[in-house]
Amino acid sequence: MNPMQQYAIVTANYWAFTLTDGALRMLILLFFYQQGFTPFEIAMLFVLYEFFGIVTNLIGGWLGAKMGLKLTMDVGLALQIAALMMLTVNPEWLTVFYVMIAQALSGIAKDLNKMSAKSSIKSLASEAEGQLYRWVALLTGSKNALKGVGFFIGAFLLASVGFENALYVLTGLLVLALLVSLVFLDNRLGRAKNKPKFSELFSKSPAVNGLSAARFFLFGARDIWFVVALPVYLASVLGWTHTEIGAYLAFWVIGYGLIQAAAPKLTGIRGGDRQATPSLPPTARTAMLLAFALATIPLVMGLTLSFEPQWILLIGLIVFAVAFALNSAVHSYLIVSYADADGTSKDVGFYYMANAGGRLAGTLLSGYVYQVAGMEACLFVAAAFVVIAGALAGRIAPQSL
């Protein structure tokens, strides 16, 4: 199969996984909030999900370079199926600790799948005419749009068929995706010519290290107010129903993903038009400037939230989606561009280890800060994190790339 066909299979695989991952996140959040869990207890449900993402990205990147990305992608799908089935037990068994274990499997699965999908593009796409930037943006943007659809599906299934039946529906979708991957995906995809040593996991270029540190704070900033605080605030303060929360967050993430997919036109390469003279692709300086612009949004929202909370959140979320999507798309392109062509997954895995670390910190802070200080405090901490992300991106020297 040619690179375009392989890219289509990787993308479809990633889409199927993302739908179930978004749906599962919303199912767990709303179901356990309905059961009377506090915001911090809900945040704790996702701690091992994020923690094992840190470990998985590091080891999974090495494993993908050594044994191929088909293996890591298929193992990710299988583990997500196991995680879904673990939650179909008697509801009395669904303690915080039990759900944390299931989410640990899901976290491993998610990051194996994401690392595999994004790393594979390096070997399938070319830098010529901006193809690498466009393919990364399309994969990332479409993934996030479908994650939004997953949020809606999770809320809808919970309201219509219940928690357990929803899990069976999601499992069926993943079984189909796994079968397609097993049959059609190339076994050699992403396998390094020179087998990487385990000791090489932390040997990274200054550019990869700097971008990884910036990614930690960028995604920590988003999750500080978005993961737990926002849904709980919408339900407890504004009185939204579960379906309304799921639908709104779904549309937000869909819009966010569409903006990411359009990022090459907005920030760099103009659509790959062979006749046009393309502008330069984004650099670390682009990431710095976009981060500083992004930081103003949660800051303003926090300062004005008490005046008209519903409209400040609705409008602020739209503006934040645009700015954050551009930040994320530029970061996603830069890491694939900076990564070593032989064994790309080592560098990409290291980078997404930092991403998972930021999400873990953001998730814990989202539940804790909201519970002790409210939504405004979450927004202020988020703004500070984004400023740090911008400063770190700005320190990446051109000669280190």
Q: What residues contact residue 344 under an 8 Å CB cut-off, 6+ apart?
A: 65, 119, 122, 123, 190, 336
Distance (Å, rounded) from C-alpha 228 to C-alpha 70? 33
Q: Is the pTM above the cut of 0.85?
A: no
Q: Where are the beta strands (DSSP E) in 211-350?
A: none
Alpha carbon separation from 267 to 130, 220, 276, 314, 328 (Å, rounded): 12, 23, 16, 25, 12
Burial of 169 (0-12, 13-18, 19+ CB in 10 A): middle
Q: Where are the beta strands (DSSP E) in 13-98?
A: none
The predicted structure's pLDDT at residue 272: 43
Q: What residues contact residue 57 under an 8 Å CB cut-off, 6+ apart?
A: 111, 115, 349, 350, 351, 352, 353, 355, 356
Distance (Å, rounded) from C-alpha 59 to C-alpha 50? 15
Contact assessment for residue 228 and residue 43, using Cβ atoms and an 8 Å cutoff: yes
**Tokens of residue 349, six digits:** 């895995």
The predicted structure's pLDDT at residue 276: 43
Contact assessment for residue 261 and residue 325, using Cβ atoms and an 8 Å cutoff: no
Work out the widest C-alpha separation in the chain, in whole angstroms. 63
Distance (Å, rounded) from C-alpha 291 to C-alpha 177? 36
- For the chain, state the CA radius of gyration: 20
CA angle 347, 350, 352 (to 5 degrees): 110
Going from N- to C-terminal start, the domains of the chain cover 3-184+205-400
Give every residue of the chain whose pLDDT is below 70, as ranges. Answer: 1-4, 61-62, 64-65, 118, 121-133, 135, 137, 140, 188-204, 267-280, 340-345, 397-401
Distance (Å, rounded) from C-alpha 328 to C-alpha 261? 11
> What is the domain class of 3-184+205-400 according to CATH?
mainly alpha
Burial of 88 (0-12, 13-18, 19+ CB in 10 A): middle
Q: What residues contact residue 247 under an 8 Å CB cut-off, 6+ apart?
A: 152, 155
Q: Would you mind telling me the total number of residues written for the chain in this entry?
A: 401
Residue 290 main-chain phi, psi, to 5 deg: -65, -35
Contact assessment for residue 194 and residue 343, using Cβ atoms and an 8 Å cutoff: yes
**pLDDT tens-digit map of 327-337:** 988 888 888 77
Distance (Å, rounded) from C-alpha 125 to C-alpha 37? 46
